[in-house]
Structure 1
Amino acid sequence: MKNILIINGHQKYGSSSGKLNQTLMDSMVSLLEKKNNIQTTIIQNGYSIEEEQQKFLWADIIIYQTPVYWFSVPGLFKTYMDEIYAYGLFFKGADQYGSGGLLTGKKYMFSTTWNAPKEAFNDPTQFFKGNNLEEAVSHLHRVQEFIGMQPLKSFACYDVVKNSNIDQFVYELDVHLEEVLNF
């Protein structure tokens, strides 16, 4: 039985109410709570810095459920990281820059929602110049590496504005979680 923290990083943006990200988070909780201890955070609903830090220390696995806005996490989610990822608790100074992460032994996974179509990835003629999903979010991986965590394979829903198929997205996420978490 693992301790899993699931964080919903959605931030209301224009007409985006966050239904898809909340649905994906709810599906994760439903699937994973059968064999794991689960805690959740919905950043948009507010949080206590100290409570969030304790959740990270408690967790074996952190799952970030987030939309991708302008090729990164929403501003509120970035503020969350700025406030929660504390020196002396999540990382410390080290002789070699980036080697002072204190959350070693913990794993994380990004589950992201994109307006970009799947075809925009892995094709050198498309926008991401042949980069795959992991390369497209490498800057987000670097943050987690800095605090000592190890990545699990990321998941993504593509083309969510024009071709949103929530039932298919939930199914694909369930398959991904079963594969990545081996349960």
Structure 2
Amino acid sequence: MNILIVHAHPEAQSFTTALKSTAQQSFEQQGHQVEISDLYMMKFNPVASQDDFTELNQPEYFNYALEQRNALKQNHLAADIEIEIEKVKRADLVIFTFPLYWTSVPAILKGWIDRVFVSGLFYGGKRFYNHGGMAGKKAMLCFTLGGRDYMFGENSIHGPIEQYLSPIQRGTLAYAGFEVLPPFIAYHVPYISQKDRQDILVDFEKYLKHLDELQPLKFPVLENFDEKMQPLN
């Protein structure tokens, strides 16, 4: 299996980075091929702009998604975007490792998604959910946060963690066609002991060794399309 880990943490000694390294070592020990996109180390540019295209199709009025579609056909995407797209294409499983920032992903990771998940390949036209461009691939979140596990739930102070994750798990990954595996969450990380952190890493390694046993998250399945809708080639 080919695995891509998209890592978003600025500190090489962080616990989030330890989770990334644990995943890499565990998969390699199992005989899988692993690629890493360490976004901070790469100094990845998260800003979607006209610079993402070597040539604009409609320079008089800039529409990012439409320019993505055209650039995909004409090979006009910026080189850094092309490199990341090829990594995703090679991957059977994409894992995102990051700290939860304000109930979401860090800006650098959001920018990676904005620029790499190009219209006309990942989504667009009839490409969404089970018909998305990444159908047949799997994706999973692995993240850290400061809150305790009991703070999240239907009647808890922060509410269900699933609500926080819906924009990326449903609105991004599932929408693009990925089969989304249940996330691995490391709670209260800044405040726990080193032993507790080590126990989480052990649990994570066990989690990764039994991915095939996990039931993917359930999202809408589209059986029929309006005949008037035409796919974008």
Select the residue among 35, 39, 45 that pairs with 2:35. 39
Residue matched to 1:112: 143
Residue matched to 1:148: 177
Select the residue among 165, 170, 189 that pairs with 1:137. 165
Query: Does the CA contact (< 8 Å) of 2:3 and 2:34 recur in 1?
Result: yes
Q: Which runs of 5 or more structure 1 residues have no equivalent in the other structure? A: none
Cα RMSD (Å) of the superposition? 2.0
Secondary structure at the counterpart of residue 124 of structure 2: coil
Amino acid at match of 2:199: Q
What is the TM-score of this pair, normalised by structure 2?
0.68
1:121 and 1:92, CA in 2 relative to 1: closer, same or farther beyond 3 A?
same
Cα shift at 1:42: 0.4
1:93 and 1:52, CA in 2 relative to 1: closer, same or farther beyond 3 A?
same
1:97 and 1:21, CA in 2 relative to 1: closer, same or farther beyond 3 A?
closer
Question: Residues 29-108 of structure 1: matches in 2 within 5 Å?
Answer: 29-34=24-29, 35-46=31-42, 47=44, 48-94=80-126, 101-108=132-139
Identity within the alignment, %: 25
Following superposition, which runs of at least 4 residues in structure 1 exceed 3 angstroms of deviation?
96-100, 133-136
What is the TM-score of this pair, normalised by structure 1?
0.86
The aligned length equals 173
Query: Does the CA contact (< 8 Å) of 1:4 and 1:62 recur in 2?
Result: yes
Q: Which runs of 5 or more structure 2 residues have no equivalent in the other structure? A: 45-79, 214-233
Cα distance between partner residues in 2 of 1:41 and 1:138: 23
Query: Does the CA contact (< 8 Å) of 1:134 and 1:154 recur in 2?
Result: no
Amino acid at match of 2:39: I
1:94-118 CA distance string (max 9 Å, x none): 2x97675200000001001011111
1:28 and 1:17, CA in 2 relative to 1: closer, same or farther beyond 3 A?
closer
